Amino acid sequence: MKKDLSSDALEPVAGNGLLHRRLFLTQGAAVLGSGVALMTARNASAAPLEVPATMKTPGVPASGYGERSRFESKVQRITNGAPPTPGTGGSRTPLEYLEGIITPNPLHFERHHNGVPDIDPEQHRVLIHGLVERPLVFSLDALSRYPLVSRIQFLECSGNSAGMNTPEPAQQGAGGLHGLVSCANWTGVPLSILLQEAGVKPEGKWLLAEGADAAGMSRSVPLAKAYDDAILALYQNGERIRPSNGYPVRLFLPGYEGNMNVKWLRRIKITAEPTMTKDETSKYTDLLPNGRAEMFTFPMGVKSVITSPSGTQKMQGAGLYQISGVAWSGTGKIRRVDVSADRGKTWAQAKLDEPVLSKAIARFRLPWRWDGSPSVLMSRATDEAGNVQPTRAKLMADRGPNYRYHYNAIQSWNVTAAGEIGNVYV
């Protein structure tokens, strides 16, 4: 017997109006046009549209480098206050304004330790030395002649969402709270090829990566990661990497905490042990409740956040909404994302947009019929290794109040009857 998909798709699948994800399939889309008020489109009257001014005069000619519409200028990276010293700190991706899985280059998050250097690619060199048979030095032209690989992958600062450990929830949007994550198509030379050419000595087990910035930012990386999927990235979304993201070359370590993806890369030294640089001892260690600190915690955990509707946005009255959000894991692909509209009591599986890629942002969606009553929206991601995003209560209980890096707990958005949306701890 043929199932009546239309009525099926409108049947709630979890508490407080969550509908089945199949509502977004082709047949389901017709349901939207046939009686279920989307609340956004107004009935067209019989009168024809006015001819706009743009149809009466020619537009501007083609340009050398594109700009977005002037009406989109409000979409900016988010900075939380002035940095303690100039050049430190960073800026966040405004996640709530973006769709799909790619972060436009001008909105990719930044994190600097002593400002953005102005590097001439003609002068720049990358040195591979230390425990190698043949120390090698590369110009940018030389690097560009190696075979390139291209992958869509996320980058997340280890300190992303660290503001979520405050006693009271900060009232910010998705980007202000969690925007130290972005996703781009990174293209570069596999580091494994260069290491084979240099000939790593048997006692070489780690590498030191050093940037050409005024902080001399440097981190230790296990060689296993270098041989696995590390690249020296030259391109970001098809164009040369931006200065704020490491121009002209950065180390890219898929899934690993952002700080290790050393920008403005100038030196790779093969070592037997980690170097214990200032950037991995005084920072980027995880202080535990017992006073001990974990070091070298590299992969970013499985995580998700609903970007629409989300904090600082406003609901437009009761009716049908599309919940949309982003999920990612430093371990591999996102397997599923579940959404709750009733404070975590019941959950419904969201639809994942194709493609779902390893160590990339995945976009999830779920229809929600909001009845106008107070609600709490949550999303919970699971990756292909079976890691499940923890609740905030569990993460804080396990990790203690000093925990700062690798925060990956479930984000909860409180929706009031008036349609205001805010950050809430559940």
How big is the CA angle at 259 (ends 241 and 124), to the nearest 5 degrees?
A: 40
Q: Which is nearer to Co ion, 158 or 182 (CB)?
A: 158
Cβ at position 405, least distance to Co ion in Å: 5
Binds Co ion by CB under 5 A, chosen from 192, 297, 322, 349: 297
Going from the C-alpha of 343 to that of each of 87, 229, 300, the distances in angstroms are 40, 39, 25
**SS3 at position 393:** helix
Closest of 308, 307, 129, 280 to residue 217, by C-alpha: 280
Q: Which is nearer to Co ion, 21 or 359 (CB)?
A: 359
Cβ at position 297, least distance to Co ion in Å: 4
Cβ at position 73, least distance to Co ion in Å: 36
Going from the C-alpha of 141 to that of each of 124, 137, 138, 230, the distances in angstroms are 10, 12, 8, 20
Cβ at position 295, least distance to Co ion in Å: 8
Cβ at position 368, least distance to Co ion in Å: 35
Q: Which is nearer to Co ion, 158 or 275 (CB)?
A: 158
Q: Mark 254-293 with x for binding to Co ion (rule: CB under 5 A) and - for no binding.
A: ---x------------------------------------
Alpha-carbon torsion angle 95, 392, 323, 175, nearest 10? -10
Q: Which is nearer to Co ion, 321 or 403 (CB)?
A: 403
Cβ at position 290, least distance to Co ion in Å: 18
Quote the CA–CA distance of 350 and 324 in Å, as a whole number. 9
Cβ at position 328, least distance to Co ion in Å: 16
Q: Which is nearer to Co ion, 271 or 297 (CB)?
A: 297
How big is the CA angle at 354 (ends 103 and 68), to the nearest 5 degrees?
A: 30
The residues in 146-165 that bind Co ion, with binding defined as CB under 5 A, are 158
The residues in 378-417 that bind Co ion, with binding defined as CB under 5 A, are 405
Q: Which is nearer to Co ion, 212 or 253 (CB)?
A: 253
Cβ at position 60, least distance to Co ion in Å: 48
Residue 302: Cβ-neighbour burial (10 angstroms; 0-12, 13-18, 19+): buried
Instruction: Provide the strand spans (E) within 263-318.
Output: 265-271, 286-287, 293-294, 303-308
DSSP state of 116: -
Quote the CA–CA distance of 112 and 251 in Å, as a whole number. 15
Q: How many residues touch Co ion (CB under 5 A)?
A: 4
User: CB nearest Co ion: which residue?
Assistant: 297
Q: Two tokens at 334?
A: 């996102």
Quote the CA–CA distance of 29 and 64 in Å, as a whole number. 39
Q: Mark 219-258 with x for binding to Co ion (rule: CB under 5 A) and - for no binding.
A: --------------------------------------x-
Q: Which is nearer to Co ion, 165 or 297 (CB)?
A: 297
What residues line the site for Co ion (CB under 5 A)?
Answer: 158, 257, 297, 405
